Structure 1
Amino acid sequence: MSNSTLPLTAAPAGSPSQQLTPKRQGRIAALADAWLPRLVLSPTIILSLVFVYGFIGVTAWLSLTNSRMMPNYEISGFNQYSALFGLDRWWVAATNLGIFGGLFILFCLAIGLLMAILLDQKIRSEGALRAIYLYPMALSFIVTGAAWKWILNPGLGLEKMMHDWGFANFTFDWLVNSDFSIYTVVIAGVWQSSGFVMALFLAGLRGIDDSIIKAAMVDGASLPTIYRRIVIPALRPVFFSVLLVLAHIAIKSFDLVMALTAGGPGTSSDLPAIFMYQFSFSRGQLGLGAASAMMMLATVLAVLVPMMYLETKGARNGR
């Protein structure tokens, strides 16, 4: 058979006739760029919507019901909030949160900023000191609470040690004194979180251009003046982040208080998180616990929203 009568065969798979045109390749690449990030992020977004915002919605719904041991989804109005605001224990917990949160944030900011400024002076053994300052943050709040419970226990901690050293009149019974027990929580919380605040401020200090400081020194400005007028104002974004983190830690504090004082003596060191847990799961007042949880959320928003507004306003104004 001659070559002219051979049957025609299909073109090879890699032949130009079956290759994608550049235009089609561009369309596929554009689709991949548009949809691949969405496909990757969609599981996280779905889980967040369900397990964060979905459960917030369920909690808000339960706070409007008469749920007790088991959920009751029939809306009954704001009865639980009225009952919550009528409880003296809730106002004790809210007052303690104001005391603990205010002192905790204030002392963490002051101590953390001071330690960061000291380490920023390029002192010797900076790495070792930084590790020592950061070590408490590696511990859980349960461990911190247990350790400080031993330290502040009048029968075996600081007070006993001072008595053994001959200081018989020394007293430090805050842990068992209902008027001062909340301040022991402040001590333990500040001890654990100050190192973390120091690390954030130190990172912010290391990000400031040294030429600005050198120029101010050439102009005759003293080091305290440089930090007060130039360096600390430049740390405004760090202050925002630190305040946000510390406020979040203070409002949700539970394990530290339970390990240190368990809310006592009595309810003198009670916090909203402990109130919510005990009324929801120990006393069978699910609706009342849900109402207290929503009030905690409202407190978070009351702190977060103004701070974010001020930060975005400052960013728009170029400050």
Structure 2
Amino acid sequence: MAVTDAGQDTGVDFRTRLQNWLPKIVLAPSFAVMVIFVYGFIAFTVYLSFTDSRMLPSYEWVGWQNYDRLFRVREWDIAVKNLAIFASLYIVICTLIGLMLAIFLDQKIRGEGILRPIFLYPMALSFIVTGTAWKWFLDPAIGLENTMHLWGWESFTFNWIKDREMAIYTIVIAAVWQSSGFVMAMFLAGLRGIDNEILKAAQMDGASNWNLYRRIILPQLRPAFLSAFVILSHLAIKSYDLVIALTGGGPGNATALPATFMYSYTFTRNQMGIGASSAVIMLMTIAAIMVPYLYAELREKK
């Protein structure tokens, strides 16, 4: 009997250990691939930024020389300035439009089930599709300007996509069109999560709609505002496909961003060290946004 009990205990222990280890065994290949092909290549890129790499990786250590050369390159200055214009307008306009659409849909209007997917639909498209479609729409020869001329409005002009001073704003227009619906969804989820009892109590106390939103609703949407800022900042910093599809970085370098600069110097100009250093700067910028956000989230949960 004792032998039988010992055998049963051994079998139970084995099954328990197998149940504990099975998820780890199943996830181990995916985890290994992620470590190698994500964090491993990030570390390799950081290493290349300190080497004399050109067309192919080199292991000749040059220290901070690539970073010094990077900040002396005029194209990098243009890319950073363009990013500042694009990111600031993109984040602010997307946030405002998303918030207004969310407030509009939160009024329990008729047809909300139809309008919500329409607003969300652009986010289902890739940035390549968005860029190509807006390139056709904004092209003076075949797009909006040509259509207005065919309709008899000969004096109408809208050639921003060909104007070095205005081309960056066409990137903003296309990006806002694609992302505003996603921001709307985040704000709408936040609005639907607010306790109605608090709102009813404020209305009974005579609070106007303006004060209701300013003092109660908007402060409770702080997590949605923060999430929207982080996501939109991340999308703005790594924007590449939209720019390439819409303007190709032109005219000239008028719409070049750090992501297009990094690709150009790494794969076109055979300056892998400088390209890697620009990628590291982009990574540090994203980390400067993500790390405080994650820290605040974890601290709030604790």
Q: Which of the five TM-score ranges fits, normalised by the shorter chain?
A: over 0.9
For residue 42 of structure 2, the aligned residue among 34, 52, 56 is 56
Deviations 1:100-124 (A, max 9, x none): 1111111111101110110010000
- After superposition, the C-alpha distances for 1:189-245 in whole angstroms (9 at most, x for unaligned) are 000000111111111211222111111111111223212211121122222222221
Q: Secondary structure at the match of 1:231?
A: helix
Question: Does the C-alpha gap of structure 1 residues 189 and 281 become closer, same or farther in structure 2, counting only changes over 3 Å?
Answer: same
- Write the mapping of 1:79-118 to structure 2, written as runs, cut at 5 A: 79-118=65-104
- Determine which of 120, 124, 137 is the counterpart of 1:151: 137
Asked if structure 2 preserves the Cα contact closer than 8 Å seen for 1:240 and 1:311, the reply is no
Tell me if the contact between 1:201 and 1:235 (Cα under 8 Å) persists in the aligned partners: yes
The worse-fitting range, judged by mean Cα deviation, of 35-44 and 274-283 is 35-44
**What stretches of structure 1 move > 6 A for 4+ residues in a row?**
none
Mapped pair 1:256 → 2:256: no
34 and 179 in structure 1: CA distance in 2 versus 1, 3 angstrom threshold: same
Report 1:106-255 matches (<5 A).
106-255=92-241
Specify the code of the residue in structure 2 equivalent to 1:53.
Y
- Greater mean deviation of Cα atoms: 29-38 or 289-298: 29-38
- Mapped to 2, the partners of 1:31 and 1:99 lie a distance apart of 56
What is the root-mean-square deviation of aligned Cα atoms in Å?
2.0
5+ residue gaps in structure 2?
Answer: none
Identity of aligned residues (%): 53
TM superposition shift of 1:148: 0.7
For residues 102 and 229 of structure 2, the distance between their equivalents in structure 1, rounded to whole angstroms, comes to 16
Compute the TM-score of the two structures, normalised by the length of structure 2: 0.93
Aligned position for 2:64: 78
Distance 1:97 1:87 in 2: 16
- The C-alpha deviation readout for 1:40-72, integer Å capped at 9, x for no partner, is 332232222111110001001111111111111
Q: How many Å separate the matches in 2 of 1:174 and 1:107? A: 19
* Structure 1 unmatched ranges of 5 or more: 1-14
Indicate the larger mover: 113-122 or 200-209.
Answer: 200-209
Shift of 1:25: 5.9
C-alpha deviations, 1:121-147, integer Å up to 9, x for none? 000000110011011111111111111
> What is the CA–CA distance in structure 1 between the aligned matches of 2:6 and 2:195, rounded to whole Å?
52
Aligned residue identity for 1:194: S
Shift of 1:37: 3.6
Deviations 1:129-177 (A, max 9, x none): 0011011111111111111111111122122222333333222111000
Question: Cα gap change, 1:24/1:68 in structure 2, threshold over 3 Å: closer, same or farther?
Answer: same
For 2:250, what is the secondary structure of its paired residue? Answer: coil
The structure with the largest alpha-carbon Rg is 1
Q: TM-score scaled to structure 1, two decimals?
A: 0.88
Residue 42 of structure 1 aligns with which residue?
28
Cα distance change on mapping 1:240 and 1:21 into 2, 3 Å: farther
Decide which moves more: 76-85 or 257-266. Answer: 76-85
Q: Which secondary structure state, in structure 2, belongs to the residue aligned with residue 72 of structure 1?
A: coil
Give the corresponding residue for 1:4: none
